Amino acid sequence: MAKLWRSVAGVNKKMFIGKNIRNRVVSMRSYKKRSLYCPGMPTTYIIETTNACNQECPMCIRKDMTRPIGAMSLAFFKKIIDQIYEYAELVFPFYLGEPLLNPEIVSMISYCTKREIKTSLFTNGTIMSEGLARDLARSGLGHIQFSVDSVDESVYSTVRSPSRLGEVLANVEQFLMGNNNRVHTTLSMIEMKPTQDALGGFIKKWKRYNINIRYKDFSSWGGTDSSINCLAPHAKATKDDLPCDWQWRQMTILHDGRVVPCYFDFNGEHAFGNCNTSTVDAIWNGESLRDFRARQIDNKRRISLCTTCSKACIRPVEQLALCALDAYSALYVRLYVLEKNY
Ligand code: SF4
Q: What is the pLDDT of residues 185-233, one digit of tens each?
A: 999 999 999 998 888 889 999 888 888 899 888 988 888 889 999 999 8
So what's the pLDDT on residue 9?
47
Q: What is the pLDDT of residues 75-117, one digit of tens each?
A: 999 999 999 999 999 999 999 999 999 999 999 999 999 999 9
Q: How far apart are CA 94 and CA 82, in angstroms?
A: 18
Q: What is the pLDDT of residues 35-57, one digit of tens each?
A: 999 999 999 999 999 999 999 99
Pick from 61, 264, 302 the residue to mutate for probing ligand 1's pocket: most ligand atoms within 8 Å of its CB: 264
Tell the burial category of 315 from Cβ atoms under 10 Å away from its Cβ (0-12, 13-18, 19+).
exposed
pLDDT of 236 higher than 80: no
Output b/e per residue, 210-243; b: 16+ Cβ within 10 A.
ebbbbbbebbbbbbbbeebeebbeeeeeeeeeeb
pLDDT of 20 higher than 90: yes
The closest residue, in CA terms, to atom 4 on ligand 1 is: 262
pLDDT of 4 higher than 60: no
Asked if residue 262 has its Cβ within 6 Å of ligand 1, the reply is yes
Q: How far apart are CA 57 and CA 159, in angstroms?
A: 5
Helix boundaries (H) for the chain? 2-9, 18-32, 74-84, 105-114, 130-139, 153-159, 165-179, 199-206, 226-229, 246-249, 280-284, 287-299, 316-324, 327-333
The closest residue, in CA terms, to atom 6 on ligand 1 is: 306
**Residue 180 C-alpha to ligand 1 middle, in angstroms?**
37
Q: What is the pLDDT of residues 259-276, one digit of tens each?
A: 999 999 999 999 999 999
Residue of 246 and 4 predicted with greater confidence? 246
Asked if residue 251 has its Cβ within 6 Å of ligand 1, the reply is no
**Residue 73 C-alpha to ligand 1 middle, in angstroms?**
28
Please compute the mean of the pLDDT values over residues 11-31 and round it to a whole number.
Answer: 93
Q: How far apart are CA 74 and CA 103, in angstroms?
A: 9
Asked if residue 261 has its Cβ within 6 Å of ligand 1, the reply is yes
pLDDT of 342 higher than 80: no
Q: How far apart are CA 283 and CA 272, in angstroms?
A: 7
* Cα dihedral 269, 273, 274, 275 sign: negative
Q: Which amino acid is at 41?
A: M
Asked if residue 151 has its Cβ within 6 Å of ligand 1, the reply is no
**Are 91 and 47 contacting, i.e. CB atoms less than 8 angstroms apart?**
yes
Asked if residue 125 has its Cβ within 6 Å of ligand 1, the reply is no
Asked if residue 246 has its Cβ within 6 Å of ligand 1, the reply is yes
Output b/e per residue, 280-289; b: 16+ Cβ within 10 A.
beebbebeeb
Q: What is the pLDDT of residues 144-182, one digit of tens each?
A: 999 999 999 999 999 999 999 999 999 999 999 988 778
> How many percent of the chain have pLDDT more than 70?
94
pTM equals 0.94
263 CA closest ligand 1 atom index? 4
**Residue 146 C-alpha to ligand 1 middle, in angstroms?**
25
Decide: helix, strand or coil at residue 144: strand
Asked if residue 306 has its Cβ within 6 Å of ligand 1, the reply is yes
So what's the pLDDT on residue 298?
96
Q: How far apart are CA 12 and CA 86, in angstroms?
A: 13
The closest residue, in CA terms, to atom 8 on ligand 1 is: 244
